Every structure is written in C-alpha cells, then in structure tokens.
Amino acid sequence: MRPFSESHARSFTTLFDGSPSILVVDPDREYAEIIGDTLNRDRRGVRVAPSARVALEWLQQSPHHAVVLDQDAAEGGVLPGLVRVIRQLQPSIGLVVTSQRRVSVAETVACFDAGADEYIEKPFHPGEFAARVRAVLRRVVAVHAGGGMHAGVTYDEARDVIEVGDGEPPIELDLQNGTARHAGRRLELTATEFTLLRELHQARGHVLSYQTLNGRVLGAGGEEGAARLKSHVSALRQKLRAAGADPDLVRNARGIGYVLAEATA
C-alpha cells in the first residue's frame, strides 16, 4: 500500500474537475488514484480523502452525492460504526464500501445493516466498479427526483407523499426530498432501502421477484445480488422495528421474491 499524507490529499483533489459530488476515502494512494480517475471519466466531481477524519470534516462542510469508503479508512477496523456516522451526517448519501481483503458474510451484513448501499472487493475491474457506483448514484437521484419513469413503472408526480403499509400510522415516503417517516419520526433509510419500499408499494400488493428487485433496486443479479438484497431487507426490517413500525411489512414470498404485507393480489 502506498499511503499519502493529508497535505497531499488537498492538492490531489485539484486533479479532478467539476464540483465535488463523490468523496473517495482511501488511505492507499494507488487505489485512490485508480478510483478517482475511473469515476472522473464520467465527468463527475471527485474529492479524495486519505483518512476518515478528513472525510468527516468535508462531509460536515458540504453535501455529496456518494462516498466510496475503504475498510482500512476506519480506525481500529470498526467500519460499521464509521458507516453509521456518515449516514447520520448525510442521510440520503450513496455509500459504497470497498475492501482489499475478503471479509466474512457477517462483516458484510454488518456494513449493510449500518447503512451501506454497495460492497465491492479489491481488486476490481474499473468498468464494473464505475457501473456499480453509477447504479448507487441513480438510486440516490431517483430518491430525490419524485416521479418520472423507472424500469417501465410510471410514478404519480401529483403525489409528493405516499403511504406504505396498513399500519396505523403507515410509513410515509416523501418522493420530493427522499425522506421516510413513521408516527412523525424520521426513518433514516438509505437510498436503497427507500427505493425498495417505493418499488414494493408501486407493485400494489403483487409479488416482485428477486430478479426484478435486483434489477430495479440494486442493478445486480445472480447469487451475489440475491444475498445483497436479503441484507438490505434485513436492515430495513431492523429500522422499522426500532421505529415501532411493523418489521414484517416486507414479507418473503418464499422462493419467489418479496411483497408488502398490505397486499392482496
């Protein structure tokens, strides 16, 4: 690993054009340069921070669309805690975790439960890496778009807030600002979790298959996509339970996919 100093990081950001929309947090200078160059090919503004301390300072100063966070950036290796802090600072930000070592399923699930949207192992193919980050950015933008077309589904632009579930009170999704509330309290959902609820609500009680949800919500398929989808559903249920909402709002249709509990198809 080629580490770089914080003073170098501040000059390193000048290599990238445009207003900063993606923050890369990676103490390995070589990977930081690869990731920065890869993402900047999409003409996105990119800033690179060598440490979590610098990254948190920048996140407190200005909004970003996404963070690409390497596991080694977390002090003491406690990555889920750092993910939670970033999620609290900017609740609707896209959050991509990278790691140069193979981690256990439990560690990956812990990152998703803490609020990560994507997990990518190093080394990676630059094209695939950029595509996965673009998928996260699309979800972030879609959360704030409040309408339009997505995967063949038309959203009702006349309704800024939709009510999800049969609970009293129901979950409220604000399509304009990408926030969710239950009983007047804000639910700190990731863009992925918000999109998952919105897609299931839009299906009006019909089961959405794993393949369909993977394509619409994650942009991934196969066993890896199915495992990630399961992790996001698990994290969503934990947040619903903590807020006093029905944790079984999103139900399994065993072997097929997921459906809202309000449902009768």
Q: Which two tokens stand for residue 110?
A: 């812990």
pLDDT band at 98 (very low <50, low <70, confident <90, very high): very high
pLDDT over 50 (residue 60): yes
pLDDT band at 96 (very low <50, low <70, confident <90, very high): very high
Which residues does residue 3 pair with via DSSP β-bridges, in sequence order?
A: 28
pLDDT over 70 (residue 212): yes
Q: What is the 3-state secondary structure (H, E, C) of 139-201?
A: HHHHHHHCCEEECCEEECCCCCEEEECCCCCCEEEECCCCEEEECCEEECCCHHHHHHHHHHH
What integer best gives the mean pLDDT of the chain? 79
Spatial distance between the Cα atoms of 221 and 217, rounded to a whole number of angstroms: 11
Mean pLDDT to the nearest integer, 30-36: 88
Q: Read off the pLDDT of residues 235-256 as tens digits, 9 standing for 90 and up.
A: 899 999 999 998 889 998 878 8
Spatial distance between the Cα atoms of 32 and 27, rounded to a whole number of angstroms: 7
Query: Which pLDDT does position 158 carry in this prediction?
Result: 41
pLDDT band at 178 (very low <50, low <70, confident <90, very high): confident
Mean pLDDT to the nearest integer, 21-34: 89
* DSSP secondary structure of 33-80: HHHHHHHHTTT-EEEEESSHHHHHHHHHHS--SEEEEEGGGSGGG-HH
> Buried (b) or exposed (e) across 126-138, using 16+ Cβ within 10 A?
eeebbebbebbbb
At 132, give phi and psi (nearest 5°): -65, -40
In the chain, % of residues over pLDDT 90: 14
Spatial distance between the Cα atoms of 240 and 193, rounded to a whole number of angstroms: 11
Mean pLDDT to the nearest integer, 71-87: 86
Q: Read off the pLDDT of residues 162-177 as tens digits, 9 standing for 90 and up.
A: 888 877 788 998 877 7
Query: Which pLDDT does position 43 carry in this prediction?
Result: 60
pTM of the model: 0.60
Domains of the chain: 6-142 (3.40.50.2300), 146-260 (1.10.10.10)
pLDDT band at 7 (very low <50, low <70, confident <90, very high): low
Query: Which pLDDT does position 24 carry in this prediction?
Result: 93
- Residue 262 CA, chain-centre distance (Å), reads 25
Residue with tokens 């920065």: 36
Query: Which pLDDT does position 95 carry in this prediction?
Result: 93
